[in-house]
Amino acid sequence: MNDKKEIQIYKNRKLNAADFDNFTLNDYQVYINLIAKIGGVDNQGCYLPPEKLKRQHILTAKEFSENFNTEISYSYKIIKSAVDKLMKTDIKTKETGGYRRINVCSEAKYEENKGFIAVEFTDRIMPFLAQVTEKFTLYNLKEVSQFKSIYSFRLYELLQDFKDTGYMIFSVLKLRECFAVADKFKLYSDLKKYTFGHAVEEINATYKMNLKFEEIKEGRKVTSLKFTFNKTKIDKRYNNQTGKYTNEYTKPEAIKKSKKSVTSNDVLEGQLSFEDAKQNKQHISSTLGKWL
């Protein structure tokens, strides 16, 4: 067991399937890292209601660099860029008879030469970031820190809601919403190649999940996808502090790999982190140089 306490993410399941519009991988990493700071549990291990959760949080470039294995020079650029995106972005959740849009932050600030951003989450978003028994998604930040595509990140999050079943069925339309691709990838073949197809490959290269997908058709048209994977083992453990039983999760084992990037050419550059995009350009330039 690691001495360092794992950084955990808690999100309401509605938020987990929300439309994050034009977030890039780095934007989403900053957003998730800030959510991890909210916590949501008191000293006795009891869940805190939304009104008791702290809304103001600070994220340093050093923290981001350590959590996502990014060069510190790029981390400064990443958190600075995320300030504008966080302030301009709201989330879209489906409601009975329509939908609702909610601003993520009421304030976001970056100070030159101090190496951190300070944000304040809105009152409206806090209920979606609180722990509500049986209605929230839980995972450790390190589980998603190696992903190089936002689609791998988002698909992995969606799978966490079904980790005890070993399968998940989503319509193609719903996946489009969760991946926030808007008018991109109008052809199903492109959607498959650049989003969930690549995401399945990257997740399997990171964890022993045996993740697969099956296409469900109506006639000749693919309308839904069934994802199957190795289930998470869940054991009941007694908590002496609360006097209640809690779940202990044993997830599929991580795959050990070299520090070399496993980024595929199938990932769009806009979905790569700053550092991976840089490496991708260097690789392409090097390859072209051999042929010119």
* Greatest mean pLDDT among 27-36, 45-54, 203-212: 203-212
Confidence of residue 44 (pLDDT cuts 50, 70, 90): low
Q: Are residues 141 and 155 in the same domain?
A: no
Per-residue confidence (pLDDT) for residue 284, from 0 to 100: 38
Residue at a domain's end among 101, 124, 145: 145
Q: What is the pTM of this model?
A: 0.80
Checking if the pLDDT of 27 tops 50, the result is yes
Q: Are residues 202 and 85 in the same domain?
A: no
Q: How far apart are CA 131 and CA 139, in angstroms?
A: 12
Per-residue confidence (pLDDT) for residue 292, from 0 to 100: 46
Q: How far apart are CA 14 and CA 130, in angstroms?
A: 12
* Greatest mean pLDDT among 33-37, 69-73, 169-173: 169-173
Residue 102 lies in a domain: yes
Per-residue confidence (pLDDT) for residue 270, from 0 to 100: 61
Q: How much is the mean pLDDT over the chain? A: 82
Checking if the pLDDT of 41 tops 70, the result is no
Residue 157 lies in a domain: yes
Residue 284 lies in a domain: no
**CA dihedral for 81, 87, 88, 89, sign (positive or negative):** positive
Per-residue confidence (pLDDT) for residue 116, from 0 to 100: 94
**CA dihedral for 9, 10, 13, 15, sign (positive or negative):** negative
Q: Are residues 187 and 211 in the same domain?
A: yes
Confidence of residue 227 (pLDDT cuts 50, 70, 90): very high
Q: Could you list the residue range(s) of the whole structural domain that residue 104 is in?
A: 1-145
Q: Are residues 97 and 80 in the same domain?
A: yes
Q: Are residues 155 and 196 in the same domain?
A: yes
Q: How far is CA 231 from the centre of its chain?
A: 19
Q: Are residues 90 and 136 in the same domain?
A: yes
Task: Give the CA distances from residue 230 to residues 165, 167, 227, in Å, rounded to whole numbers and listed in that order.
Answer: 9, 8, 10
Least confident of 146-150, 221-225, 269-273: 269-273
Q: Are residues 141 and 154 in the same domain?
A: no
Q: Are residues 53 and 107 in the same domain?
A: yes
Number of domains in the chain: 2
Q: Are residues 3 and 130 in the same domain?
A: yes
**Those residues with Cβ within 8 angstroms of residue 44's Cβ, 6 or more apart along the chain or in another chain:** 241, 242
Checking if the pLDDT of 158 tops 70, the result is yes
Which one has a higher pLDDT value, 71 or 43? 71
Q: Are residues 202 and 181 in the same domain?
A: yes
With residues binned 3-state (H G I as helix, E B as strand, rest as coil), the percentages for the chain, rounded to 5, are 35, 25, 35
Tell me the average pLDDT across 18-39: 83
Task: Tell me the Cα Rg of the chain.
Answer: 20
Q: Are residues 108 and 186 in the same domain?
A: no
Residue 190 lies in a domain: yes
Q: How far apart are CA 58 and CA 119, in angstroms?
A: 6
Residue 43 lies in a domain: yes
Residue with tokens 């806009």: 270
| DSSP letters for 78-123 | HHHHHHHHHHH-EEEEEETTEEEEEESEEEEEEETTTTEEEEEE-T
Q: CATH code at 41?
A: 1.10.10.10
Q: How far apart are CA 17 and CA 6, in angstroms?
A: 24
CB burial class (10 A; 0-12, 13-18, 19+) of residue 75? buried
Residue 121 lies in a domain: yes
Count CB-CB contacts under 10 A for residue 30.
27
Residue 280 lies in a domain: no
**Could you write out the three-class secondary structure of 31-48?**
HHHHHHCCCCECCCCCEC
Q: Are residues 8 and 130 in the same domain?
A: yes
Residue 285 lies in a domain: no
Checking if the pLDDT of 2 tops 70, the result is no
